């Protein structure tokens, strides 16, 4: 099995569509990184590399490599780090158009030219909160006017629909921006990815993770989970101190889902089998976790995973304004 979170999830999507990797894995888990994000073409990548070399003063094509090797690594990294924020295209990513990635990932899925293995794919409910610091010198200082300017700069053709969906006053300004990032860059593209994979005929299990009882992660935001917060529940530390029994049981259940999927391609337990064997809780067996339904094109059911409440929903798209982002 291959699995990853964030950039690791996007790389997992890349492996799904990379012919040299076909047959090398039999399951895939994609956490908080959709399979629809665009990768640069060879032309894009060459343009980016030339631009970085120019900024470093390496303008002679015959000596570009030697020139850049003579420059301190820190200086090269600073020149290459020009991606302003999560809403901008990624200049550094796997390149489409060669043997490793002959076509964009979404094209590979739609045409059936991908590794046909079972997939778990999902997000956390409030992915965008940690990314708002790209616009804040101090968390909590952004204004509604700045939010409107940011959104207009990145989504000019869609700005009216976005401002209707996320109106000023509906939440603190930083929280509004975080919700747009969550929906536009994570939740809705991941839901689209799940539907594409399901329509291509592979078993798909989608989820949304949340911690509604956790305090806000920064000023001007609300309570709940942010990008990467599910990892501690899947790979807990040996001395992990859970805030409650519900959180400890949540970790146990998630580990059971993930490990059973790795073993069988289905996160669900067979009838009459008991749970309670996760690394976070090696105590007496418990009742089997709730059934995790497959995600299908006709009925896009997503498993909500929260402390003390795990159940399938069919309202993910409407809750995250996915009609705007498709």
Instruction: Name the phi and psi angles at 305, rounded to 5.
Output: -120, 105
- How far apart CA 76 and CA 80 sit, in angstroms, is 6
Beta bridge partners of 31: 5, 122
- How far apart CA 9 and CA 30 sit, in angstroms, is 5
The SS3 of residue 286 is strand
- pLDDT, tens digit, 9 for 90 and up, residues 264-319: 999 998 876 665 544 444 444 457 889 999 998 666 899 999 999 999 999 999 99
pLDDT of residue 282: 43
pLDDT at position 101 over 90: yes
pLDDT of residue 176: 94
Q: Which helix (DSSP H) or strand (DSSP E) does residue 142 occupy? A: none
Which of 130-139, 144-153, 226-235 has the lowest average pLDDT?
130-139
pLDDT of residue 112: 97
Domains in the chain with CATH codes: 2-39+93-325 (3.40.50.1820), 41-92 (no CATH)
Q: Which of 22, 7, 41, 3 is nearest to 205 (CA)?
A: 3
pTM: 0.90
DSSP H helices, the chain, are 7-16, 42-55, 64-69, 73-80, 105-111, 144-154, 159-165, 173-181, 188-199, 231-234, 245-264, 316-319, 322-325
pLDDT of residue 219: 66
pLDDT of residue 278: 47
pLDDT range class, residue 137, cuts 50, 70, 90: low
Pairing of strands 28-31, 302-306: unpaired
């Amino acid at each position: 099995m291959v699995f990853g979170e964030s950039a690791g999830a996007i790389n997992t999507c890349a492996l799904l569509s990379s012919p040299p990797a076909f047959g090398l894995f039999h399951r895939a888990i994609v956490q908080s990184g959709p399979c629809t994000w665009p990768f640069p073409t060879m032309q894009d990548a060459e343009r980016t590399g030339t631009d970085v070399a120019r900024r470093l003063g390496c303008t002679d094509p015959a000596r570009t490599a030697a020139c850049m090797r003579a420059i301190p690594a820190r200086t090269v990294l600073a020149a290459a780090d020009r991606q302003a924020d999560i809403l901008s295209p990624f200049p550094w990513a796997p390149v489409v158009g060669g043997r490793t990635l002959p076509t964009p990932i979404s094209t590979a899925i739609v045409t059936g030219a991908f590794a046909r293995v079972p997939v778990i794919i999902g997000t956390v409910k409030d992915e965008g909160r940690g990314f708002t610091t790209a616009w804040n010198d101090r968390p909590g200082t952004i204004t509604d006017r700045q939010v409107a300017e940011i959104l207009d700069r990145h989504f000019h053709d869609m700005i009216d629909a976005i401002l209707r969906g996320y109106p000023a006053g509906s939440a603190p300004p930083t929280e509004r921006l975080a919700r747009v990032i969550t929906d536009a860059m994570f939740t809705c593209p991941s839901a689209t990815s799940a539907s594409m994979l399901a329509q291509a005929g592979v078993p798909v299990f989608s989820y949304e993770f949340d911690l509604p009882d956790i305090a806000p992660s920064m000023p001007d935001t609300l309570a709940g989970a942010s990008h990467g917060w599910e990892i501690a529940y899947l790979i807990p530390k040996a001395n992990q101190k859970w805030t409650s029994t519900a959180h400890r049981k949540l970790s146990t259940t998630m580990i059971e889902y993930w490990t059973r999927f790795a073993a069988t391609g289905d996160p669900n337990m067979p009838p009459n089998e008991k749970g309670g064997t996760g690394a976070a809780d090696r105590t007496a067996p418990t009742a089997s976790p709730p059934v995790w339904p497959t995600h299908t094109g006709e009925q896009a059911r997503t498993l909500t995973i929260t402390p003390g409440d795990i159940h399938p929903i069919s309202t993910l798209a409407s809750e995250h304004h996915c009609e705007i982002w498709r």
